[in-house]
Chain A
Amino acid sequence: MARDIFSSIQVPQVDDRPLWDVVFAIYGYPALLLAHRLKIFPLLAQNSHTLPEICKALNIAQRPAEAILTTATALGFLSLQEGRYSLTPVSKEYLLEDSPNYFGFFWDLMIDNYQVSTYAGLEKAALTDSAQAYGGGDIFKSHEEQIELLQRFTCGMHSISMTPALVWPQVMDLSQHRMMLDIGGGSGAHSIGAALRWPDLQAYILDFSQVCEIAQNYITRYKLQDRVKTCEINIWRDQWPAADLHFFSNMFHDWLPEKCHFLMAKSFNSLESGGRIVIHEMLYNDEKTGPFAAAAFSMMMLGWTEGKQYSGQELSAMLREIGFEQIQIQKAFGYYSIVSGRKP
C-alpha cells in the first residue's frame, strides 16, 4: 500500500510555504532581537549607513550583518536605498530608547528570559501545564536580585503599555468618571495615559508595595503626582478604595476563568452604582480561529503564567453573569481591544 502511494507521487494541491514559515519564524524573528542588542537601530538614528560601515561600527563580519539587516528590512524595520540602510517610521517610533514609545525594554525581557520561548521551555510548559519563567517562583534569589528583576520586568511592561495607554482613553468617554483604579497597574502607564487625556480624572495604581515604588518614578516623569497615586495592597484579599472606574490591562490573561470571575465579582461589589469596568486585552475572535497575535500571546501566557487569552464573547459572558450591563467590545490600539460593562 505504502509502495503504491510513493510510486504514484504527484505535485501536492497545497503550497508548503506555511510549513517553511514555521521554520523561518524560529530564525527570522530573533534576527530583530539581535539587531536590537547589537544596537543597529541607534546606530542608524542619525545617519543612514552602508553594509561595510555598519560592520565596522559594530565590529561584526559582513555575512551575519547582511543576514540580520536583510531580515530587518524584509520585516519593515529598516529600509535600503542606494546601498544605504536607514530607519523606518516603526523603528524610529519604537526602537530608539529616547522615544516615549520605546518597545525595546520588552524585547530585553524576552531576551533575558529566552529559555521560556525555546522549544524545550514551551514543551515543558505544555506537558506540565505550568509556567516556566523564573523557575516558577525563585524564592532563593536575594532581595536585591528580586528588586533588580522587578525593575527590569516593570520597565518591560511599561515599554509595551505606554503606547496603547494613550489610545484606549480616546476610544472611551471617561468624562463622567472621577476616580479610576488601575488594578495590578504595574508602572502605572494606563493611569498616566488616562489622566493625560481626561484632566478631571484621578487614578490609583493598585499593586504590591515593591511595584508601587517603581510606579512612583513613572508618575513623576509625567508630572502627574497630584492626580495619579499608588495604593500598596494585595488586590486578592484587601479592600479596594472607592472608585467609579475599574481598569484591568493584561490582567485577566494571567488567570483561568475561576480567578477572573473572582476579580470581576470583587470589582462589581466594590464599584459604585453606575461605575464601569474596563478590560484591556488582546482578544481571540469569538470562533477561536485566531487571530494569530492572540493565539501566540496565549502561548506566551502558557510559558509565563497560569492563564490564557480570552475572546470578547467569553469576557462578556463572564461580565454578564456577574451582573454587569451595557457590555461593549471596542477596538483599541494595535492588537488590543477593550471590553467594558456598567454596574446597574
Chain B
Amino acid sequence: MFNLGNMLNLGSTEPIIGRASTLVECSTKDLFKYLGEDLFQNYPKWSPEVQELEQLTPGPVQLGTLGRQVRLDMGRRSESRFKIFTFEPGVRLVLAGVSDPFRCTYELQDMNLEKSTKLTFSFELLELLVVMRPFEGLVRSAIKDGAERTVQNIKRLVEAEKSMESSAT
C-alpha cells in the first residue's frame, strides 16, 4: 500500500514494458488476419530477429495454439516456446512465453469505419535474468525501441501488401 518503493526510493517499481501505437490503413479484420490467423507466415516479416518459427499444435491459429521460435536479439540467440493466450478476432492477440517470462499484446481499435486501425503493441518482460540485471537500462531502452520498430514494420508491411492487392485488381 502507498507505493513505498517510489516514496522512499527503495528501488524501481517500474515494470519492464515497451509500448507503441500507430495507425494502419487497413480494417481491423484484415489486420487481425495478418497478425493472428497468418501469424506463422508473417511473424518473421515484422520481427526480423525471428530466425526460426514453428507451429507446434496443428490446425488454424487459435486460443491455446503453441509455437516455437529461435530469435537473435543483439547477437544473443535464444529459443522459446509461446502460447496464444488471447485470440479475439479484430480486437486483441496475446502471445505469452511458456518457458520464458514474456508477453506480447497486439490491440486493434477501429478508427475510421474499418478504413484504418489503431494498432498498439506492448512487450512485457516479466522478470530480468540475473545476468542481465547490470544491463537493465539497456534492456529497457531496447524493449522500448523494439516496440516502436514492431508497429512501424507491421504498418509498412500491411499497407504495402494492401497497395499491391489494389494495384493487381
Which parts of B1-36 form the interface with A (CB within 8 Å)?
1-17
Chain A residue with the shortest CB-CB distance to B127: A239
Which parts of A210-240 form the interface with B (CB within 8 Å)?
210-211, 234, 236-240
Q: Is there contact, CB below 8 Å, between B127 and A238?
A: yes
Which parts of B126-140 form the interface with A (CB within 8 Å)?
126-128, 133, 136
Q: Is there contact, CB below 8 Å, between B127 and A307?
A: no
Q: Is there contact, CB below 8 Å, between B86 and A259?
A: no
Given contacts A250-B1, A269-B101, A304-B3, contact A259 B15 (CB under 8 A): yes
Given A133-B2, A157-B1, A211-B4, 8 more pairs with CB closer than 8 A: A133-B7, A146-B9, A237-B16, A238-B128, A239-B101, A253-B1, A262-B17, A304-B7
In the complex, A138 Cα to B126 Cα: how many Å? 28
Q: Is there contact, CB below 8 Å, between B12 and A237?
A: yes
In the complex, A237 Cα to B17 Cα: how many Å? 11
A275 within 8 A of B: no
In the complex, A167 Cα to B19 Cα: how many Å? 40
In the complex, A254 Cα to B4 Cα: how many Å? 10
What are 18 inter-chain pairs, A to B, with CB distance below 8 A? A131-B3, A131-B6, A133-B7, A150-B4, A157-B1, A184-B4, A208-B5, A236-B14, A237-B127, A251-B1, A254-B1, A254-B2, A263-B15, A266-B101, A266-B127, A270-B126, A304-B3, A306-B3
Give the residue of A139, A184, A211 whose beta carbon is less than 8 angstroms from that of B9: A139
Which parts of B62-93 form the interface with A (CB within 8 Å)?
85-86
In the complex, A134 Cα to B101 Cα: how many Å? 34
Shortest Cβ-Cβ A-B pairs, 3 listed: A250-B1, A208-B10, A262-B15
B124 within 8 A of A: yes
Chain A residue with the shortest CB-CB distance to B11: A234
Q: Is there contact, CB below 8 Å, between B133 and A150?
A: no
B158 within 8 A of A: no
Mark A residues whose CB is within 8 Å of B: 131, 133-134, 136-139, 146, 149-150, 153, 157, 184, 186, 208, 210-211, 234, 236-240, 249-251, 253-255, 258-259, 262-263, 265-266, 269-270, 304-307, 321-323
Q: Is there contact, CB below 8 Å, between B16 and A153?
A: no
In the complex, A236 Cα to B113 Cα: how many Å? 39
Q: Is there contact, CB below 8 Å, between B6 and A137?
A: yes
In the complex, A107 Cα to B21 Cα: how many Å? 44
B103 within 8 A of A: yes
B143 within 8 A of A: no
Q: Is there contact, CB below 8 Å, between A237 and B10?
A: no
Give the residue of B11, B15, B126, B136 whose beta carbon is less than 8 angstroms from that of A208: B11
In the complex, A239 Cα to B125 Cα: how many Å? 11
Chain A residue with the shortest CB-CB distance to B100: A269
